[in-house]
Amino acid sequence: MGEFVVRGGRRIDGRITVHGAKNAALPILAASLLASSPVTLYDIPRLRDVDVMIEVLLALGARVERSGTTVWIDPRDIHTYAVPAELMQKMRASIFVLGPLLARLGRASAIQPGGCAIGDRPIDLHLYALTQLGAQLTEEAGSTELVAERLRGAQVHLTYPSVGATENLMMAAALAEGETRIRNAAMEPEIVDLAQFLERMGAVVRGAGTSDIRIVGQPTLTGTDYQIIPDRIEAATYALAVAATGGRLVLENCIADHLPGLWGRLREVGVDVRDGEGDVVEIVAPDRYPVRPISVHTGPYPGFATDMQAQFMAFLLKVPGVHLISERVFENRLGHARELRRLGAQIIADQRVALIYGGKPLRGAAVTAGDLRAGAALVIAGLMAEGETVISGREVIERGYEQLDQNLSQLGADVVAR
Annotated binding site for UDP-N-acetyl-alpha-D-glucosamine: 92, 121-125, 307, 329
- Binding-site positions read 22-23, 92, 121-125, 307, 329
**Which stretches of 207-305 are assigned E, i.e. beta strand?**
212-216, 225-227, 247-252, 272-275, 280-285, 295-297
Calculate the dihedral angle through the C-alpha atoms of 230, 127, 75, 38, rounding to the nearest 10 degrees.
Answer: -40
Whole-angstrom Cα distance, residue 358 to residue 317?
Answer: 4
Q: Is the dihedral of CA 189, 29, 162, 147 positive or negative?
A: positive
Where do runs of H (alpha helix) occur along 179-231?
Answer: 189-200
φ, ψ for residue 230, nearest 5 deg: -65, 155
The strand pairing partners of 144, in sequence order, are 110, 139
> CA of 124: how far to CAs of 155, 193, 210, 244, in Å?
18, 24, 23, 39
Q: What share of the chain is helix, strand, coil (3-state, %, to 5)?
A: 35, 30, 35
How far apart CA 206 and CA 320 sit, in angstroms, is 46
Q: At 341, is the secondary structure helix, strand, or coil? A: helix
Q: Which residues are catalytic?
A: 116
Residue 314: Cβ within 10 Å count: 28
- CA 265, CA 98: separation in Å to the nearest integer? 38
- The CB-side HSE value for 93 (13 A sphere, CA atoms) comes to 23
Q: Where are the beta strands (DSSP E) in 130-289?
A: 136-140, 143-147, 155-157, 179-183, 204-206, 212-216, 225-227, 247-252, 272-275, 280-285
**Single-letter residue type at 113:** P
Distance of alpha carbon 297 from alpha carbon 119, whole angstroms = 17
With the CA atoms of 294, 354, 316 and 407 taken in that order, what torsion angle do they form, in degrees rounded to the nearest 10? -130
